[in-house]
Amino acid sequence: QVQLVESGGGLVQAGGSLRLSCATSERTFSSFVMGWFRQAPGKEREFVAAISWGGSSTYYSDSMKGRFTISRDNANSTVYLQMNSLKPEDTAVYYCAAKTRLSHYSDYTWYDYWGQGTQVTVSS
């Protein structure tokens, strides 16, 4: 079982930045495609970004492209989500997730492992 632990959420004003981290003790971290998703109250879980095993390929939701950056450090088994120019509509619980194949990277139902989530609140 792969355990993922997110951190870095919090309260920030609109226009501000946050950096989320997702760490694991999994030694085969580099064999996983990693994704970030978010879920606001009353809404379905939404794709944010994904990154390939070695980090050479990244994918973003159109609404976050240019504001969010996903990256990974395989030596430290951690994936990051840098969020800039935050908006109140970015308020949600943010989850990291892992899967072994790159296909369907934007579909949360295809991910095998999930973290517990971290709350991000953006005030106007």
**Cα–Cα dist 17/114, whole Å:** 24
> Is residue 74 within 8 Å of 91, Cβ to Cβ?
no
Mean pLDDT of the chain: 96
Q: What is the pLDDT of residue 26?
A: 86
pLDDT of residue 90 exceeding 90: yes
Q: Which two tokens stand for residue 29?
A: 């971290």
Residue 25, CA distances (Å) to 4, 7, 44, 60 in order: 8, 15, 29, 26
**Cα–Cα dist 104/117, whole Å:** 21
Q: What is the pLDDT of residue 32?
A: 97
> Is residue 70 within 8 Å of 47, Cβ to Cβ?
no
φ/ψ of 113, rounded to 5, equals: -130, 145
Q: What is the pLDDT of residue 24?
A: 95
For residue range 73-89, list pLDDT tens digits in order: 999 999 999 999 999 99
